[in-house]
Structure 1
Amino acid sequence: MNILFLCTGNSCRSVLSEGVFNHLAPAGLKAISAGSQPAGQLHPRAVALLARKGISTEGYYSKSWNDLPLTPDVVVTVCGSAAGETCPAYLGPVLRTHWGVDDPGHVIGTEEEIEAAFELTYRIIRARIEAFLALPLAQLAGDKAAFKVELDRIGAIGANGI
């Protein structure tokens, strides 16, 4: 199963999601990320945060949803802008869900406030991915409606896992 984490810039939240998912997922599950208007570079704080968590970003880059190396089974938008955009037609009949989270890359404040925003974003993303990976995926694969309900439920999970 291939999961696409989609955001506008593909530099921060979608990259954090891709990294965390691939770090935690068992064999047979893979995440990629892309953007509708890619920034062209990964946010340095997102890369540094993943490195601190022991999560590799080797081979990751900011890419367009038009340049995907594979067709996803599930598309997860992680920002408000991408949620309102139409997924490319070539993606076909994929499950779509929205797991919106504020962009820590836009936080203005002290170094501590900015780092706290990145850490909060990471915790929210990780809690949602852990909830996804706890789903009975083999069972849900045969029931797209039930799978969609579960995916949408996960989008409401906060940093505390609730």
Structure 2
Amino acid sequence: MLKRGLSVLLLLTAIASTTLTFIVGHSGAKASWEDRIKASDSKRLSDLPEQDQALVDQNLSAGVIKLSISEVKKHNSRDDCWSIVSGKVYNLTSYVQQHPGGIELISSICGIDGSAAFSNQHGSSAKPNNVLTGLLLGSLGAEITKQKSTTIIDPPKSNYGSKAEDEDESESEDGDRD
């Protein structure tokens, strides 16, 4: 009888431990993601010096848009999301809904220079950088066609953020974790 009672107690302890681990882990991960983005020193583009205030190049009639700070500012919502990361402009619109950290986190860098937020969260991790590369419009200051600027870029096929991806990454990239 004592043996059976200990078995039941052990089982209940294991269930309680697993439940608490899940709850604490989830809330801790959420808190970690939120704090990193909110505490980042990403600046709103209005705070940055602007040498070129022109929203669109003189070639607008020819359908050319200059990737300027002013142009990026116009794309500041989750439905039309551009961001600057390390001097390059990315169209994140199609990726907002798929971002493993959640819609709010990626939306917080729409229309701004998100370099610090991206670097704080992902550093040089290969997979987030590969996803970002697939959403590239061009370097800040470059000219692109108006058609390219309005094309929704499908994010690269990736299992980024999934359990299988985490296992693959741990085998291939020692210490390079998100």
Normalised by the length of structure 2, the TM-score is: 0.23
Normalised by the length of structure 1, the TM-score is: 0.25
**Higher helix residue share:** 2
